[in-house]
Amino acid sequence: MSEFKMLINGQLVDAISGKTMDVVNPANGKFVASVPCAGEEDVDLAVKAAQKAFPAWRKTYVADRVNLVLKLAAKMREHAEELAVLETLHYGGPISKTRVFDANGGPGNLEFVAGLARGLTGHTISANPNARIMTFCEPMGVVGLITPWNFPMCTATSKLGPALVTGNCVVLKPASCAPLTILKIGEYAKEVGFPDGVINIVTGPGSTVGEAIVKHPGVAKINFTGDSAVGKRIMQLASEHVKPVASELGGKNAFVVMNDAPFDGAIEAGVYAAFFNSGQNCGSPSRFYVQEEIYDKYLEKFIEKAKAITVGDTMDPKTMMGPLAYPACRDNAEKAVAKAIADGCVLRLGGERPNTPETKDGAYVMPTVLEATDNSLDIMQEEIFAPVVAFYKFKEDREAIDLVNESRYGLCASVWTTDYRKGMKITDEFDCGTSWINQHLEIVPETPWGGRKESGWTKENSMLVFNEYTWQKHVWMCMDDEPHTFWENFLKD
């Protein structure tokens, strides 16, 4: 395994303290690599480098910024296999998934915003015929990006791309357990010619490095993806400087199956959405509401399909589901299942660790299905972030809507029905950022992504993402030969 360094001011560096931290493969508990363990001094250097680079970078032609972002995307595609392997090794996604999804999605995010950026415009406002009133999109300055471990590369590039093309400089902190692909992106950025200080990448614990980025007075905005508890902590710290925070947080997402659902599609999509990436997806459904007439049939077919999921060696292309990102995730999932059973839920599938030679030392949880007895139970309300789902039976449409909305989260939900008029009426009442009809987990760069309530507030992807990285500046230009004041209006006879 190659040596991994941070990127600060255009240089690949170790932490000032010389400290490192180990990255461990969650599939087998084996050492993968050491990376620098930064501290507040390293963050300060990174922020100051970004501040120094900002005046020139913001005045760079958009086409030149876009071309560098496209070169970075091309470099990532050139090293697609290396990135896919690293992604598998440091967070446990099966190689069949990281080769197709991550190795394409990472550079794809950069290519998407690069294509849009040259068309980014302001507005003119016709409030006064004697003036020219305009708005301009201006970069914020130094943006702090704090990214998660469940989709390390894709989430980082979904933030990095729009921040850069709009003229911001960046200090990026990847997840401590899964920083390898992000550090590689730092190497590629240096190779393709990004000016010193425009991109800075620091690695270390969130409690020190993450908080240092949030509190630093030189950082204009924070963009964070992660769990709601950490998101609240970041907002609290950022409030000391009245610093804006874009937050894409947790979810407890619903999958609603009506009696008239397209049955086979609802089975296929339900199992895929629930267990893709081992359930470590903020958009994954973990509470299934099924109308009573088809409840038993749907549950049995769902369990049958879930049993066919291949759990195993993440480097085997036939493996469909790998481990959780680290042992504590597995332990939390097991505690949640035990609590659900103690609360009276019925375990219908899973709940145990696989015990094969290739999985016995990893952070694995088998696909797990429970039947819940009450919508207020923790299994129906608390995010687990694991391949664990709970089923609940409902009678009427109104009941399904109320069950979905009885959550402090509001990220996404889906409804499955062949009556699209009914589907639209139901999704209109879902209190969440994304609603699907006969689909779940379809998230593409062209469509906005973000939630409500404790799922945070931001919009990743689409044209709306540029709002997260720009200020709207208003300019009023008087066209009168002799400018006047409103006093003249008041003093008229």
What positions carry a catalytic annotation? 248, 282
The first and second tokens of residue 398, run together, are: 């109104």
Output the CA torsion 9→19→224→94 (10° steps).
Answer: 110
The first and second tokens of residue 369, run together, are: 């299905």
**Cα 251 from Cα 432, distance rounded (Å):** 10
Q: 């508890």: which residue's tokens?
A: 229
Strands 123-125 and 412-416: unpaired
The first and second tokens of residue 418, run together, are: 């062949």
Output the CA torsion 141→146→151→154 (10° steps).
Answer: 10
Note whether 348 and 288 are within 8 A (CB): no
Strands 285-291 and 346-349: unpaired
How many C-beta atoms surround the C-beta of residue 459 within 10 A? Answer: 19
Strands 253-257 and 412-416: parallel
Rg for the chain (alpha carbons), in Å? 24
**Cα 83 from Cα 157, distance rounded (Å):** 13
